[in-house]
Amino acid sequence: MPDLRLLLVDDEPDFLEPLCTRLTRRRVSCVTATSGEEALQVLAGGTFDCAVVDVKMAGMDGLELLRRIRREHAATPVVLLTGHASVEMGVQGMELGAFDYLLKPVDIDELLDVARRAAEVPREPESS
Amino acid sequence: MTTDQRRGRLGHRLRAAWQALRTRTVTGTTGADMARARLMYDRFREILASNDATLHLIAEVDECVAGRAPFTLESLVRQIHKAEMAVFVMVKNLNLLSNDAHAGLYPKLRDLSAQIASMCPPTEEAEGRPDVQPLEHVRLTDAPLVGSKMARLGEARQSAGVSVPEGFVVTTAAFSTFMSANSLWERAARLEDLVQARGEGAAVALACEEVQRAILTAPVPETLARAITGAFERLAHGRDVRVAMRSSAVGEDTRASHAGQYLTELDVDASGLLGAYRAVIASVYSRAAIAYRFEHGMGARETAMAVGCLRMLQPRCSGVLFSRRPDQPGADAVVVAAVPGLAAALVAGEQDACVWITGEDGRTPDSTLLSPEDLSRLVDAARRLEASLRGPQEIEWAIEPPDRLLIVQSRPLVAAAPESDAGATPLTDMPPRLSGGLCACPGIGSGRVAVVSGEDDLDAFPDRGVLVARQALPSYSRILSKCAAVVTDVGSPAGHLASLAREYGVPALVGCGQATSTLRPGTPVTVDATCGRVYDGLLATPPPAVRPVLAADAPALQVLKRIARLVTPLSLTDPASPAFRPEFCQSLHDITRYVHEKTFEAVFHWGDVNWGDTRHARQLQVHLPLTIHVIDVGGGLREEEAANEDEGDRADGGPGGASPAITLDDVVSTPFRALLSGMLDSRLRWDRPRPLSARGFLAVVGERMAGLPGEALRVGGASYAIVSDRYVNFSTKAGYHFATIDTYCGQSVNKNYIHFRFAGGAADGARRERRVRFIASVLASLDFKVQTRGDLLVARLGQFDHDALLARLEDMGRLCMCTRQMDMLMDSDASPEYFARAFLARDMDRF
């Protein structure tokens, strides 16, 4: 039984595959998607502890995907990843409810810590 | 704080602890708490790093606005964008540390960022700009399109009236087209990020190769290929012409000379054009170029690369010309370095040259290389280029038979700061180990000899080493910032490495003949580059030369001043003021200040955070009246102990699955060790009965009985230490006060600090205040800045070196133990001063 189930979304396979390999080595199970649409399909068929989403993607971009996930799969926390740093994008991402916003190239240990923490946060608002 | 409030808070804490216990038993979570502690610590460190970076930039912008530092608007604007991003990371992390308690910063930052963007000049788009531009149409103002080198060459031709080789420029628009068409920007940008994150190292070298390979194998888009070959055919006009393809990056040759960082391809014919083009632009991502740009704070997109294609010359002689002496920029002299034929080997530092200095007596030119007429033509060209390109120049030239002088390149001369006359007298009477050579950058530097012959030697180059090499190769530039001095066997002051040495202000002696055979690796030497001598041993050296400042461009300065108003002013100065709020932040500086303050406030309550599952905190077995739980967030405990933690992750147990205890020997965190060593001071007699005044005892006992449930004692008794190798956040709730020490202690003086916060206490108000006065008095004597408000005390100490800081931490450890039940001792107004004196005199029997 893996520690953590992650969904990795990036339209660049060159980035996705090595990341997935390295995460798998750390007992993390990864499913990859190369577009926002594909990610939504995957989410419809299974549950994940956390979705790691690249902001800049062709077609549905990361912020739009974040919006959809918040709406349709509210239990899945989203960590945004970006190589293109912009304040506007970052602020939007955080205000839309991203769990965190990390800059590429991401430190794998940091990503893992963030994903673990995201998975740990209660899915429903605290009743107390 | 009233008793009721305190009771309410403790009750809340108890409930939280109980809930955490239940959660743990039910779910048996995996390493989430460790992950959480590590994550919080990383975010905290990231805030501090971003804070430093932002403050550096603010200082730099201030310098530029004041006209004290040179700048190009384009690069500064990019730096400001970088700072906005750093501020965003700070804001984000603070909100993540504090459960969005400061979310009001987001809209404020967004506003500021939008305002800054509206004032910045638009970034140019590739559309509508030509891929190829003939050199005869190029002026200085075309630099964004044709790169600095070609813009200056075009200007030299037009306004200085000198001849330049015929040719054309493949523009930055073409570069952009090429990079975009092959989706190469993304990779390039990640490369820069990698350097940023990892520093210069093997991982970066591999990534550089990867990006370069991608460029070398990517196809040149059809229209671009046609434009380049078309321009070449117009230049050749049916003759057998070859071209030199030279890099011309935007920003190259201006403030930072980039000398020799990029590739030049010689003797290129029609068939080799596109291959050579790719080779030159790939050099934007060479390891040396990346390191150099990083050093100067320039990003990849900033280095938009144009490529000049100039007819290959067949000169009878060529060389380099300085319109002023680099070591005496004030004197009216011109330096000419010449070699027969082409000068490529001269500038690459592989060949010695004949050197003339005009205005000096007794040196007549070698008639076979340069005639007096040649020399006067060169001097004349130097003066005209100085006038039209504003300032001393470093010029590459060639003379084609019979006597046609062509200027190949002219860039600002990086001159050393004027030396005092004393600099010309030898440093000492001692016989030098080595003498001779040519001064490439005056000055004196000492360090241990490091002989360099390949890339591996560069990787292993020691900090403040003396670089000794056979040749003065430009690839050495990436370690120049670590060099105390440079000494080479061959090379000339006209070479690229020499001009880079001047830019970095590293004393350099080139062409010494036998430096590599005379100077033994690892031995300490002192290089007096001014006098051309190398001595044994580390001799006392005068302070290094200061670099000259160039004049700033006026319209750019106006724009910068407007932008700077949103970046540098600080209006949020007083954290106690009601205006210390997100909505009053008016600049990036204000936001930075606010986040910094609030971050430390948040960190002071880390021990208060409900760590829930204490299985991941290791209990420290130590002879102290405290239960200390240690949470390691990176290198704070011995390796084996860290490994045990991972096993702990896997163990699926309830409260019985607690991690084994650790001892003092397992603690490797330097600041935590210092703190503990103070707490364990054997002169502190906390385990013996102490003299106690009855009134004091009653005051304490009375309040305890009035307020607090017995269980609270146990909850309040736990102390937490969040540690890394250089960091500790120690919070203790022993007694009824709450104290936090937060400290970072590394080798960098500017990053070191101790922050201390102290609040509460069980005795009556007067005693609590006296205790605070005692602590304030002790800390002020230990160089802390102390602020108190009622029985709350905050003290800060910064910029102490490693050892001094550790000594202070030992004092803090003693202080923590002394103040445990201190309020009982504070039975008169004179007590605070009396005990402060006793503490500082190490008279521990009093406590």
Instruction: Please name the residue of chain A whose CA is at the shortest distance from the CA of residue B28.
Output: A120
Q: Which of B208-217, B221-230, B261-270: highest mean pLDDT?
A: B221-230
Q: Which has more confidence, B118 or B758?
A: B758
CB B327 within 8 A of CB B475: no
Task: For chains A and B, count residue pairs whose Cβ atoms are closer than 8 Å.
Answer: 72
> In the predicted model, is pLDDT for residue B700 greater than 70?
no
Q: Which of B30, B36, B113 sits opposite A87 (nearest CB)?
A: B113
Q: What are phi and psi of B163, to 5 degrees?
A: -85, 145
Q: What pLDDT shows up at residue A48?
A: 94
For residue A77, give how far its alpha carbon lies from the nearest alpha carbon of chain B (Å): 14
Nearest CA in chain A to B183: A12
If interface means Cβ-Cβ distance under 8 Å, which residues of chain A face chain B? 3, 12, 83-88, 90-91, 94-95, 100-101, 103-105, 107, 109-110, 112-114, 116-117, 119-120, 128
**Is it the case that residue B131 has pLDDT exceeding 80?**
yes
Chain A contact set for B32 (CB, 8 A): 116-117, 119-120
Taking the CA of residue B113 and the nearest CA in chain A, the distance in Å comes to 7
Closest residue in A to B196 (Cα–Cα)? A105
Q: From chain B, pick out residues whose CB is under 8 angstroms from the CB of A90.
A: 85, 88, 92
Segment B437-449, tens digit of pLDDT: 888 888 888 999 9
Query: Within B160-286, where are the H helices?
Result: 172-181, 185-198, 202-217, 222-236, 273-282
What are B's interface residues with A at a Cβ cutoff of 8 A? 19, 29-32, 35-36, 38-39, 42, 82, 84-85, 87-89, 92, 95-96, 106-107, 109-110, 113-114, 186, 189-190, 193-194, 197
Which DSSP string corresponds to B15-44? HHHHHHHHHHHHH---THHHHHHHHHHHHH
d(CA A9, CA B623): 52
Q: Is B36–A110 a contact, with Cβ atoms under 8 angstroms apart?
A: no
Give the residue with greater pLDDT, B824 vs B109.
B109
User: For residues B450 and B462, is the Cβ–Cβ distance under 8 A?
Assistant: yes
How much is the pLDDT for B747? 84
SS3 (DSSP) at B546: coil
Structure tokens at B691: 């003299």
* Cβ-defined contact of A83 to B84 (cutoff 8 Å): no
Mean pLDDT of A8-12: 90
Chain B residues with CB under 8 Å of A110 CB are 39, 42
pLDDT band at B21 (very low <50, low <70, confident <90, very high): very low
Residue B691's pLDDT is 52
- Predicted TM-score of the model (pTM): 0.52
Q: Does pLDDT of B426 surpass 60?
A: yes
Provide the pLDDT for residue B345: 62
Structure confidence at residue B667 (pLDDT): 94
Q: Which of B522-531, B535-544, B655-664 has the highest mean pLDDT?
A: B522-531
pLDDT of B126 over the 70 cut = no
CA B288-B292-B297 angle, to 5 degrees, is 145
**Which among A94, A104, A120 has CB closest to B193?**
A104
Query: At residue B19, what is the residue type?
Result: Q
Name the residue facing B38 among A103, A105, A113 (closest C-beta): A113
Best of A79, A104, A107, A120 to disrupt the B interface (most B CBs within 10 Å) is A120
- Find the closest chain A residue to B19 by CA distance: A128
pLDDT band at B69 (very low <50, low <70, confident <90, very high): low
Between the CA atoms of A7, A12, A14 and A20, what dihedral angle is there, to the nearest 10 degrees? 0
Q: Which residues of A75-93 are buried (b: 16+ CB within 10 A; e: fewer)?
A: ebbbbbbbbebbbebbbbb
- A58-72, A83-97, B243-257, B433-447 — which one is most confidently predicted on average? A58-72
Q: Where are the alpha helices (DSSP H) in B725-829?
A: 765-781, 802-818
What local confidence, expressed as pLDDT, does residue B752 receive?
Answer: 87
Q: What residue of B is the nearest CA neighbor of A111?
A: B39
Q: Which of B93-102, B342-351, B611-620 holds the top average pLDDT?
A: B93-102
Chain A residue with minimum CA distance to B106: A91
Partner residue opposite B36 with nearest CB, options A3, A95, A117: A117
Which residue of A116, A123, A126 to mutate against B (max B Cβ within 10 Å)? A116
Closest residue, chain A, to B97 (C-alpha): A100
Ordered DSSP codes for chain A = --SEEEEEE-S-HHHHHHHHHHHHHTTEEEEEESSHHHHHHHHHT---SEEEEES--SSS-HHHHHHHHHHH-TTS-EEEEESS--HHHHHHHHHTT-SEEEESSPPHHHHHHHHHHHHHS-SS----
Q: Are B728 and B675 spatial neighbours (Cβ–Cβ below 8 Å)?
A: yes
B519-529 average pLDDT score: 92
Please tell me the distance in Å from A66's CA to the nearest CA on chain B: 17
- Predicted local distance difference test score (pLDDT) of residue B623: 87
Residue B125: strand, helix, or coil: coil
User: Considering chain B, what is the average pLDDT of its residues?
Assistant: 78
Which of A37-41, A87-91, B244-248, B362-366 bottoms out in mean pLDDT, i.e. has the lowest? B362-366
Nearest to A117 among B32, B85, B190 (CB): B32
CA distance A91 to B599: 19
Between these two residues, B175 and B505, which has the higher pLDDT value?
Answer: B175
pLDDT per residue as tens digits for the range B276-294: 999 999 998 888 787 777 6
CA distance B818 to chain A (A): 38
From the candidates A91, A99, A127, which should be mutated to test the interface with B, based on the most B CB atoms within 10 A?
A91
Helices (H), B268-397: 273-282, 287-295, 344-347, 372-389
Q: Residue B82: list chain A partners with CB under 8 A.
A: 85
Confidence at B7, pLDDT banded by 50, 70, 90: very low
**Distance (Å) from the C-alpha of residue A113 to the closest C-alpha of chain B?**
5
The CA distance from B829 to the nearest CA of chain A, in Å, is 46
B105, closest residue in chain A (CA to CA) = A91
Among B493, B565, B224, CA closest to B347:
B493
B341 pLDDT band, cuts 50/70/90, is: confident
pLDDT value at residue B472: 82
The residue of B106, B116, B609 whose CB has the most chain A CBs within 10 angstroms, and thus the best one to mutate to test that interface, is B106
CB-CB: which of B32, B106, B113 is closest to A116? B32
Instruction: Name the token pair of B454.
Output: 């390949």
Q: Do A95 and B106 touch (CB under 8 A)?
A: yes
Which is higher by pLDDT, B329 or B803?
A: B803
Q: Does B193 contact A113 at a Cβ distance shorter than 8 Å?
A: no
- Nearest beta carbon to residue B110 from set A83, A87, A105: A87
Q: Nearest chain B Cα to A95, which residue?
A: B106
pLDDT tens per residue, range B238-284: 898 999 999 888 766 554 455 567 888 889 999 999 999 999 999 98
Report the sign of the C-alpha dihedral through residues B283, B286, B292, B297, in that order: positive
Hey, are the CB atoms on B194 and A105 less than 8 Å from each other? yes
Which chain A residue is nearest to residue B109, measuring alpha carbons? A87
Under an 8 A CB cutoff, do A83 and B189 touch? yes
Q: How many residues in total does chain A contain?
A: 128
Helix (H) or strand (E) holding B57: helix B32-65
Identify all chain B residues contacting A109, using CB atoms and an 8 Å cutoff: 38
The verdict on a CB contact (< 8 Å) between A90 and B114 is no
Rg (C-alpha) for chain B, rounded Å, is: 33
Q: Would you say B325 and B347 are in contact if contact means Cβ atoms under 8 Å apart?
A: no
Single-letter residue type at B5? Q
Q: Say which of A84, A101, A116 has its CB closest to residue B35.
A: A116
DSSP SS3 for B3 = helix
pLDDT at A128 > cutoff 90: no
